[in-house]
Chains A and B, each alone.
Chain A
């Protein structure tokens, strides 16, 4: 595989490219099961995580992945956009360039921020979430988790519940699933459904109880509690009543269906604690697969070699 320099999103990837990431990730799952789960593939490579938004799990997941590949990883995080500190993202980029790191994993609250860095830097850029745009590594680990549970994507029916308008996880998953031939539907209050989403070939539902029984995969998105003030929904209580994954709703789901969540969960809001911990839930598999997928991504973009 001759990869592009950066991984900025899923939208522009072909099915073949997605499958290459997933196949390699499956091989790294086996590495992770070894007593000493470390390979020397990226020895001597320096990778920087640059997080302008608070995120524990994604940054840790990348760090673990990089260490498993023997890369040197440097973590940097600041909970605010760089502008407020007087240094622009462009300045930050130029400084990174001067320090000659091989790759940068970036998370930023502005859509397009990863592309902004990719345009400026020779280092490869992995988008770890840019605004409401894309979160490609999350989507790849989600796809990997789905593939572990179902034979193929062709007849797979996936329902995504929650604030689609503001979700980079939803976008990246929709792009990837559509490319792989799955059927995708979304369910949310109309205030959370972005204009023209149906043009992506996505079915749109407002009433969860009517449709939850039709799907193989039900993915709940994290609800951003602060959006209540923006008028997208009247109260957490009503959101839970209408869209929360409760035991009652889970009973309506297909026998072999699974429940996913990109985390971190608001337990008792979009998903009830016992649902998150139930047999149908693959949430911890997602986390586990996250390391393998990120190893595959780093391996491919850092030009790793199998020794």
Chain B
């Protein structure tokens, strides 16, 4: 296989704290050399001048709807969407039909991912059989088959005793338990964040305490069991504060937020636009600010997309009847650049560690780093490029995004997975 030489890019690697103009040579599936001015005539060259070269993004949280809803997304279309957004590794949640709760489904996902041959797809197994919240699944069999964590995402594990047992049982395999922290009783049939905006709009609210009650419960259980807890899509100020305190006390907890929780506040719901309907809901400005603070002080470890495709017909309903979720792979980088880099002045190392080395650590994968001998999973992007996100250019099968026909800033130019170029667009 021909070597690949990435020339003249600004290489940023959070793990080794490199931020410099460097060339990278890839031989086979590994990074073989990183230096100023590498020359190799027979290599395929990628001109990365003016671009940022970093470890491939790792998304801990997405929905690929496969098996079950191939009209909304498949593992192949989801992978295509992921690499277009710069993701080289994605973890798909088990709320499929049927759920990822047995070896057969895990094998199916690996088979489909191999057939797509684009990014790495790691399944997350269901915590409970058929995600019913009652009996835990066969963690041993599922881990052997290749799941990288467990979650009943989409639903909380409402029964504290079941969740305790899941945490305890996971210790044998040292895999994280991903919680969807929303108390279903407190959230009721809430459509948006409960607060001043929901009061004005007359919409049923899902209160911040629905999230915080479960975060608090789970932190106590994580401390009690000593197991690894990962809290999904954190969206409230109170949740960030609880996690911050727990981390100080040494609880083995990690967490993620999603771009829409630091990009929007609940005033966008005034449009009644169903593309803003997500779970947990887009919160108040105060919560949004707290999420940014949590990212800044590293209380929040990762930025995940919660990519959630839905077919157009289902989203084109009255707000109350539309499903929760927005697609996220292809817009995540732009939102990060616009809000966190350009506006909030985050430095690149801090941002990129939440997309690379931190999620890699949670998955216990030797990914997310640029160094000699490391696996060559790389993303090249232009942080200044302006482009329009249109129905024709979206790679996902679903178009449920509030950014349709909007101009975005920052775009993936090239993606290398396991030493192979999987995505490349000339300007």
State A262–B422 Cα separation when bound (angstroms): 63
- Decide if A11 touches B200 in the complex (CB within 8 Å): yes
Give the one of B194, B202, B207, B321 with max A CB within 10 A.
B202
Q: Inside 8 A of A90's CB, which chain B residues have their CB?
A: 316-317
Partner pick for A196 among B199, B317, B319, CB 8 A cutoff: B199
Interface Cβ pair total, 8 Å cutoff: 69
Distance in Å: Cβ of A298 to nearest Cβ of chain B: 24
> Any chain B CB within 8 A of the CB of A70?
no
Q: Inside 8 A of A197's CB, which chain B residues have their CB?
A: 199
> Any chain A CB within 8 A of the CB of B196?
yes
- Decide if A83 touches B203 in the complex (CB within 8 Å): no
Q: Inside 8 A of A256's CB, which chain B residues have their CB?
A: none
Of all chain B residues, the one with the shortest Cβ separation from A168 is B202
State A81–B318 Cα separation when bound (angstroms): 10
- Decide if A134 touches B272 in the complex (CB within 8 Å): no
1/0 contact string of A102-136 vs chain B (CB within 8 Å): 00000011111101100000000000001111100
Q: Which of A75-121 contact B (CB under 8 A)?
A: 81, 83, 88-90, 108-113, 115-116
Distance in Å: Cβ of A50 to nearest Cβ of chain B: 13
Q: Inside 8 A of B88's CB, which chain A residues have their CB?
A: none
Q: Which of B40-83 contact A (CB under 8 A)?
A: none
State A21–B381 Cα separation when bound (angstroms): 56
Given contacts A88-B313, A115-B272, A196-B195, contact A108 B318 (CB under 8 A): yes
- Decide if A112 touches B319 in the complex (CB within 8 Å): yes
Number of interface residues of A (CB under 8 A): 29
> Any chain A CB within 8 A of the CB of B201?
yes
> Any chain B CB within 8 A of the CB of A1?
no
Partner pick for B199 among A113, A116, A168, A195, CB 8 A cutoff: A195
Q: Inside 8 A of A234's CB, which chain B residues have their CB?
A: none
1/0 contact string of B190-226 vs chain A (CB within 8 Å): 0100111011111111010000000000000000000
Q: Inside 8 A of A171's CB, which chain B residues have their CB?
A: 200, 202
- Decide if B198 touches A195 in the complex (CB within 8 Å): yes
Q: Which of B317-367 contact A (CB under 8 A)?
A: 317-321
Of all chain A residues, the one with the shortest Cβ separation from B191 is A111
Given contacts A131-B202, A133-B203, A200-B200, contact A88 B320 (CB under 8 A): no
- Decide if A88 touches B317 in the complex (CB within 8 Å): yes
Q: Inside 8 A of A251's CB, which chain B residues have their CB?
A: none
State A194–B317 Cα separation when bound (angstroms): 25
> Any chain B CB within 8 A of the CB of A34?
no
Q: Which of A140-167 contact B (CB under 8 A)?
A: 165-166
Partner pick for B318 among A112, A166, A199, CB 8 A cutoff: A112
State A238–B352 Cα separation when bound (angstroms): 58
Number of interface residues of B (CB under 8 A): 21
Partner pick for A110 among B194, B199, B207, B321, CB 8 A cutoff: B321
State A142–B117 Cα separation when bound (angstroms): 65
Partner pick for B202 among A83, A111, A196, CB 8 A cutoff: A111
Q: Inside 8 A of B195's CB, which chain A residues have their CB?
A: 195-196
Partner pick for A134 among B191, B202, B204, B205, CB 8 A cutoff: B202
Distance in Å: Cβ of A197 to nearest Cβ of chain B: 5
Q: Inside 8 A of A109's CB, which chain B residues have their CB?
A: 320
Q: Which of B148-192 contact A (CB under 8 A)?
A: 191
State A133–B202 Cα separation when bound (angstroms): 4
State A88–B319 Cα separation when bound (angstroms): 12
- Decide if A111 touches B317 in the complex (CB within 8 Å): no
Partner pick for B196 among A83, A111, A165, A199, CB 8 A cutoff: A199
- Decide if B272 touches A112 in the complex (CB within 8 Å): yes
Of all chain B residues, the one with the shortest Cβ separation from A112 is B272
- Decide if B198 touches A112 in the complex (CB within 8 Å): no
- Decide if B318 touches A89 in the complex (CB within 8 Å): yes
State A129–B313 Cα separation when bound (angstroms): 24
- Decide if B194 touches A113 in the complex (CB within 8 Å): no
Q: Inside 8 A of B200's CB, which chain A residues have their CB?
A: 11, 171, 200
State A115–B318 Cα separation when bound (angstroms): 10
Of all chain A residues, the one with the shortest Cβ separation from B188 is A230
State A81–B320 Cα separation when bound (angstroms): 11
- Decide if A132 touches B202 in the complex (CB within 8 Å): yes
Q: Inside 8 A of B272's CB, which chain A residues have their CB?
A: 111-112, 115-116
1/0 contact string of A188-225 vs chain B (CB within 8 Å): 00000011110110000000000000000000000000
State A133–B196 Cα separation when bound (angstroms): 13
Of all chain B residues, the one with the shortest Cβ separation from A164 is B199
State A200–B200 Cα separation when bound (angstroms): 9
- Decide if B205 touches A110 in the complex (CB within 8 Å): no
State A115–B274 Cα separation when bound (angstroms): 12
Residues of A whose CB lies within 8 Å of any CB of B are 11, 81, 83, 88-90, 108-113, 115-116, 130-134, 165-166, 168, 171, 194-197, 199-200
13 A-B pairs besides A83-B321, A132-B203, A134-B202 with CB distance below 8 A are: A89-B317, A89-B318, A111-B201, A112-B203, A112-B319, A131-B203, A133-B201, A166-B202, A171-B200, A194-B198, A194-B199, A194-B205, A195-B198
- 18 CB < 8 A contacts A-B: A83-B318, A90-B316, A108-B318, A109-B320, A110-B319, A111-B191, A111-B272, A112-B272, A116-B318, A130-B202, A131-B203, A132-B202, A134-B202, A168-B202, A195-B196, A197-B199, A199-B196, A200-B200
List the 7 closest A-B pairs by CB distance, nearest first.
A112-B272, A196-B196, A133-B202, A132-B202, A110-B318, A194-B199, A110-B320
